[in-house]
Amino acid sequence: MEQNQTFRLSNFTNIRRVKLAESGNAEMRAWHSLKGRITTVPHEAEQVMVDLKKGATGSLEYLARRIDLNVRTDVLNFLSTMASKENELLVRINFDEEAYLTEQRARFLENYFTAKPDRLYLFPSGACNHRCTYCYVPLVDRANAGELMKPEIHDISVDEFFAAAMKRSTVNVQIRYLGGEPLYNWPSFKRAVEATFEKAKQYAVNPLFVVLTNASLITPEMIRWFKSFQYDLAFLVSLDGVKEVHDHYRVDTSGKGTFDLVWRGFNLLREAGITAIPHMVVGTHNQGRSQEFVELLSENGIKHLSFSFLSMPSEEVKKSGATALKPLAQLQFLKDIYSSATSLSIEISGHWKQAIVHLINGDPSICRGGTRSICITAPGDVFPCQRIIWDPGSKLTIVKPGFLSEINLSNEVYKRWIMKSSLFMEKCSGCSWIGIHSGGCPPITEQKTIGDDCSFHSYALNFALSLPINKIKATNLDMIVNGMMTEDGAWHGTL
């Protein structure tokens, strides 16, 4: 880097002094609105950053001219890192940021002209033995015991997915089974996983199987079979809190609470040494009850917890009485559970964390439903995301040989989904997080609640600024919960 170049602060650079959540100490942090790349500003460089924020320009040497000679080299090294191509928090004085944004938009469209999924969501069964009142799967499907994915639909889906991954030289992929209840028809599920495992060998890919389940149907026979896949298989188990809270909305077909059955199945998995993570859906029914649930987990030696916030995907759910939290209440829940979980050495994750991780390492961890993940229902309909399967207008295509090639910008549903990125939305112009949380979750924006979703993610990102940077990196837990990628992109077989 030439020493006499004149630099200024990028228009996409944000600088903020924050109070750290755990230590209470104050730190200055900087990040790029498009790239994330959160940076802790060394104390000795803070004055330079203040000057830059006020409009100072100059060579790096000039900008650091007032810094004590004992630390000036360190400050110059920091400024050089800020100005690197990777970070671009400092840019040359004549840098054209409108052209840069246009280039980023074009690069985004080029990169995602065609879907490049490394996560495949499959519904082996739409049917379920529970009647959780806020489930996004329509009741007519959950009540249909014959709603099973045909073997040919499953196998074509997996073949196409693995073949596309192999063509891109993508080795680490995920197969995520959900429903309904994926274990509702055990022979069908067992055949599906065995077939997928064999196909993975043929295509030389390394799959992590994740099963989203209520665990109430798990038997010792299943446990014995699961153990043969122990290091390639993980479970997310639906648990909304302590018994009283869980049983409020998570009921069986007769209306009885399901906590005892779920807890039994969850512990069968854990006792067998199989990775199992409790997953909580958060609404008004459990917003003030997280502390007691975290304590229950801690008392039982459970060190991981996932949670997501209830959204309102259909009229059916709205009529159930289940109520979503407003953004400020979501933020308070996040703060409360982070505090209580951290004090008991419990790691937390959830969909809310994806934008937060983007602060660290950029695009590989942010949700790209329809581009990096696709969802296939039991009848073989293909959707961008499991949260939108109730909407026929969001169907991308149907499963058939070559179906992945149809998911591109010529597909109107795919194009509509892609163009919801904050990079293309006028209302997102100038946002500090424009390239980080992508304007909100598309299934929620379909419900015209983008203000709520956008507000919460902004609150969560502001909260993340106060956390230790090592706490907001993608971990193995995030890989299980969200399909997010760790730095090396590989699953390490255990938590």
Domain spans of the chain, in order of start: 7-95, 119-418+473-482
- pLDDT for position 490: 66
The answer to whether residue 61 scores a pLDDT higher than 80 is: yes
- Predicted confidence band of residue 137 (pLDDT cuts 50, 70, 90): confident
- Predicted confidence band of residue 442 (pLDDT cuts 50, 70, 90): low
| Lowest-pLDDT choice from 306-320, 378-392, 424-438 | 306-320
Q: 325 or 89: whose pLDDT is higher?
A: 89
* Residue 269 C-alpha from the chain's centroid: 24
Give strand pairing partners of 279.
238, 306
Cβ burial 95-133 (10 Å sphere, 16+ → b, else e): eeeeebbeebeeebbeebebbbbbbbbbbbbbbbbbbbb
> Stretch 415-423: mean pLDDT, rounded?
82
Backbone angles phi, psi at 9, to 5 degrees: -75, 135
Report strand pairing: 36-41 vs 26-32: antiparallel
Q: 152 or 444: whose pLDDT is higher?
A: 152
- pLDDT for position 204: 93
DSSP 42: P
CA 17/CA 416 separation, integer angstroms: 38
The answer to whether residue 314 scores a pLDDT higher than 70 is: no
The answer to whether residue 458 scores a pLDDT higher than 70 is: yes
- Predicted confidence band of residue 451 (pLDDT cuts 50, 70, 90): very low
Mean pLDDT of the chain: 87
The answer to whether residue 448 scores a pLDDT higher than 50 is: no
- pLDDT for position 437: 64
* Closest alpha carbon to 38 in 62, 57, 20, 22: 20
pLDDT tens digits, residue range 168-199? 999 999 999 998 899 999 999 999 999 999 99
> Stretch 51-55: mean pLDDT, rounded?
95
CA 97/CA 63 separation, integer angstroms: 21
Share of the chain above pLDDT 70, in %: 89
- Predicted confidence band of residue 210 (pLDDT cuts 50, 70, 90): very high
State the amino acid at position 168 in one-letter form. R
Backbone angles phi, psi at 236, to 5 degrees: -110, 120
To the question of domain 119-418+473-482 being in CATH 3.20.20.70, the answer is yes
CA 184/CA 217 separation, integer angstroms: 7
CA 252/CA 128 separation, integer angstroms: 9
pLDDT tens digits, residue range 232-242? 899 999 999 99
Encoded tokens for 437:
């949380």
The answer to whether residue 361 scores a pLDDT higher than 80 is: no
pTM over 0.85: yes
- pLDDT for position 388: 83
- pLDDT for position 385: 86
The answer to whether residue 423 scores a pLDDT higher than 60 is: yes
- Predicted confidence band of residue 460 (pLDDT cuts 50, 70, 90): confident
| Lowest-pLDDT choice from 201-205, 368-372, 383-387 | 368-372
CB atoms within 10 A of CB 410: 10
The answer to whether residue 130 scores a pLDDT higher than 50 is: yes
> Stretch 250-261: mean pLDDT, rounded?
94
> Stretch 113-141: mean pLDDT, rounded?
86
- pLDDT for position 63: 93
The answer to whether residue 452 scores a pLDDT higher than 80 is: no
State the amino acid at position 129 in one-letter form. N
The answer to whether residue 493 scores a pLDDT higher than 70 is: no
Contact 294, 346 (CB under 8 A): yes
